[in-house]
């Protein structure tokens, strides 16, 4: 019992689909022919196995809840604009034909099945959903009709059970389809292959030879496909290069290309690829944040505002989109709008000790906006709070801004001290400018 419980826990720690072990044991118990006279005795003997599995699963789920705050994880795939069942379940059904293809004809293998490799559907009436229902329903019906022949029923129900946790039918899992989730379900194909090989051994010689030839050809083809696919996973670079070559329509390819173009200084072309990626997956927070921040940096504040508002709606518990949004508003000269946005966020995030560093960015934007409006005393309070929260991580420009505020408040000595702090953190290349600012604003007797 201890060995079974340990192995079960290790399987759960490796991949969440391991949770299906008790259901698989029950399936084997029901399908595999046994001595029916001893069913009651066998159940009494094996109930300890199910108890050990239940206890192990409870411990695992408790740990998962402590770490994630949720048993399921709760993350919907970013392709879903609304992470509700009415959008998630049709898309889950839509990929059932893909499961069948990957199990029996894995010629096209893709590292990332996101849009536009696979486009999301919008409802149960979509033809792809109808086709998925037909494929899934026909397969399950075959399993029911073959219940007396475990060699057929077992692979079908094995696949159905083990794919369920990652299918998006029960809980959102953060992806629509990923080949890595199909290792345990693919055991069904191994069982079916063994059953076919065994059945062919009892056929006439000619049929037996044909059966062996077909199985051997399938095994060789699978081995060759594995061999040719493995080099793609050598590194991130080889993986992305393959994805770009085979599926340039992928939103992730557009995203990566956009970043590369931006680093190369091709700004307009980079933003075109960012826009395509954001249109394909409009609910991807990380993509929107990268796009919005780049727009702010390159002076496209109005465009950045739209992107960052969407990011803030997606993740209202995050501070970063609000910080960049306030910057975008300030860059448009809308300082009062920036102040309103930042003040609301400061009130909402007040007391969050886990994001103190991020909250300092809110006070930074508040200080900038207040200074632009000429409210120097309020700007001083906001800048001081920003520096306090930043601690040793404070950027030298914050001290430079504090020096400007102190000068406006006619506090020369405090301004000089702030400039000294800025110089202590600033790279040597900006020292002459800091020194010039100090000289220009110091009384003659100094």
Between the alpha carbon of residue 165 and those of residues 41, 53, 331, the distances in Å are 32, 17, 47
Average pLDDT, the chain: 87
- The reply to whether 99 and 49 lie within a common domain is no
- The reply to whether 131 and 40 lie within a common domain is no
- The reply to whether 63 and 36 lie within a common domain is yes
- The reply to whether 105 and 227 lie within a common domain is yes
pLDDT winner (highest mean) among 267-271, 314-318, 400-404: 267-271
Select from 71, 94, 115 the last residue of a domain.
71
The contacts found for 16-22 with CB under 8 angstroms, 24 or more apart, are: 16/165, 16/166, 17/162, 17/163, 17/165, 17/166, 17/181, 17/184, 17/185, 18/184, 19/57, 19/60, 19/165, 20/161, 20/162, 20/164, 20/165, 20/184, 21/53, 22/50, 22/53, 22/54, 22/57
pLDDT of residue 352: 73
Select from 210, 232, 254 the last residue of a domain.
232
Domain containing 122: what range? 75-232
Has residue 221 got a pLDDT over 70? Answer: yes
- The reply to whether 137 and 91 lie within a common domain is yes
- The reply to whether 67 and 140 lie within a common domain is no
Q: Is residue 65 part of a domain?
A: yes
Please check whether residue 438 is in contact with residue 406, taking contact to mean a CB–CB distance below 8 angstroms: no
More confident position, 110 or 43: 110
Cα(255)–Cα(274) distance, integer angstroms: 6
What's the rounded mean pLDDT across residues 274-282? 92
- The reply to whether 56 and 122 lie within a common domain is no
- The reply to whether 173 and 47 lie within a common domain is no
- The reply to whether 82 and 61 lie within a common domain is no
Q: Is residue 7 part of a domain?
A: yes
pLDDT of residue 445: 47
Q: Is residue 179 part of a domain?
A: yes
As for how many domains the chain has, the answer is 2
Share of the chain above pLDDT 70, in %: 91
Q: Is residue 246 part of a domain?
A: no
Q: Is residue 326 part of a domain?
A: no
Q: Is residue 442 part of a domain?
A: no
- The reply to whether 80 and 217 lie within a common domain is yes
Q: Is residue 294 part of a domain?
A: no
pLDDT confidence bin for 220, thresholds 50/70/90? very high
Residues 6+ apart with CB under 8 A from 47: none
pLDDT of residue 196: 84
Of all helices (H) and strands (E), which one includes residue 87?
helix 85-94
Per residue in 301-311, pLDDT (tens digit) is 999 999 999 99
Is-above-0.85 flag for pTM?
Answer: no
Please check whether residue 136 is in contact with residue 9, taking contact to mean a CB–CB distance below 8 angstroms: no
Has residue 232 got a pLDDT over 60? Answer: yes
Q: Is residue 98 part of a domain?
A: yes
- The reply to whether 104 and 42 lie within a common domain is no
Select from 71, 87, 112 the last residue of a domain.
71
- The reply to whether 156 and 218 lie within a common domain is yes
Per residue in 321-348, pLDDT (tens digit) is 999 999 999 999 999 999 999 999 998 8
């Amino acid at each position: 019992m201890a060995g079974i419980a340990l192995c079960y826990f290790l399987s759960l720690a490796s991949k969440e689909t391991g949770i299906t072990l008790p259901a698989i044991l029950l399936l084997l118990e029901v399908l595999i022919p046994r001595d029916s006279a001893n069913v009651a005795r066998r159940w009494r003997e094996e109930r300890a196995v199910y108890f050990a599995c239940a206890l192990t699963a409870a411990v695992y789920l408790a740990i998962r809840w402590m770490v994630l705050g949720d048993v399921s994880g709760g993350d919907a795939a970013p392709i879903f604009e609304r992470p509700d069942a009415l959008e998630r379940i049709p898309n889950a059904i839509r990929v059932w034909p893909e499961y069948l293809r990957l199990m029996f004809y894995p010629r096209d293998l893709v590292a990332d099945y996101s849009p536009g490799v696979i486009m999301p559907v919008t409802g149960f009436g979509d033809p792809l959903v109808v086709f998925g229902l037909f494929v899934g329903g026909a397969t399950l019906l075959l399993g029911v009709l073959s219940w007396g022949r475990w060699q057929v029923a077992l692979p079908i129900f094995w696949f159905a059970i083990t794919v369920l946790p990652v299918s998006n039918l029960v809980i959102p899992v953060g992806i629509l389809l990923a080949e890595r989730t199909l290792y345990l379900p693919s055991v069904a194909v191994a069982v079916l292959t063994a059953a076919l090989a065994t059945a062919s051994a009892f056929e006439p010689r000619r049929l037996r030879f044909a059966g062996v030839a077909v199985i051997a050809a399938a095994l060789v083809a699978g081995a060759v496909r594995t061999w040719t696919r493995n080099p793609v996973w050598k590194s991130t670079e080889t993986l992305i290069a393959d994805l770009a070559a085979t599926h340039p329509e992928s939103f992730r390819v557009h995203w990566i290309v956009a970043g590369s173009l931006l680093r190369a200084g091709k700004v307009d072309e980079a933003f075109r690829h960012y826009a395509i990626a954001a249109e394909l997956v409009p609910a991807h927070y990380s993509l929107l944040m990268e796009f919005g921040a780049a727009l702010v940096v390159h002076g496209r504040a109005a465009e950045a505002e739209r992107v960052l508002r969407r990011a803030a709606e997606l993740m209202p518990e995050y501070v970063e989109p609000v910080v960049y949004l306030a910057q975008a508003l300030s860059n448009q000269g809308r300082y009062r709008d920036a102040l309103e946005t930042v003040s609301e966020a400061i009130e909402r995030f007040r007391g969050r000790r886990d994001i103190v560093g991020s909250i300092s960015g809110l006070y930074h934007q508040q200080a900038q906006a207040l200074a632009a409006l000429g409210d120097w005393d309020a700007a001083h309070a906001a800048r001081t709070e920003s520096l306090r929260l930043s601690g040793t991580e404070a950027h030298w420009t914050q001290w430079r801004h504090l020096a400007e505020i102190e000068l406006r408040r006619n506090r020369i000595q405090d301004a000089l001290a702030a400039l000294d702090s800025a110089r202590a953190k600033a790279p040597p290349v900006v020292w002459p400018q800091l020194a010039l600012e100090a000289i220009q604003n110091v009384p003659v007797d100094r």
